[in-house]
Amino acid sequence: MEKNEQSIIPVTLHDDQTDRQHISKVLSQKMVAHLKNSQTELLIYEGIKPSTLRVLLAEMPFNETR
In a domain, 46, yes or no: yes
Residue 18 within a domain? no
Tell whether 54 is covered by a domain.
yes
Give the model's pLDDT for residue 19: 55
What local confidence, expressed as pLDDT, does residue 65 receive? 63
- Confirm whether 12 is domain-assigned: no
Please give the pLDDT value at position 8.
76
Going from the C-alpha of 64 to that of each of 34, 38, 39, 51, the distances in angstroms are 16, 7, 6, 21
Q: Over its length of 66 residues, how does the chain's per-residue pLDDT go in tens digits?
A: 566 677 777 777 766 665 555 555 555 678 899 988 887 888 898 888 999 999 988 888 876 666
Residue-level pLDDT at 12: 74
Whether 6 maps to a domain, the answer reads no
pLDDT value of position 51: 92
Would residue 56 count as lying in a domain? Answer: yes
- Asked whether 34 and 43 are in contact (CB, 8 A), the reply is yes
The Cα–Cα gap between 65 and 63 comes to 5
Cα dist. 33→14, 21, 23, 47, 48 in Å? 32, 24, 20, 12, 11
In a domain, residue 53? The reply is: yes
50 domain residue, yes or no: yes
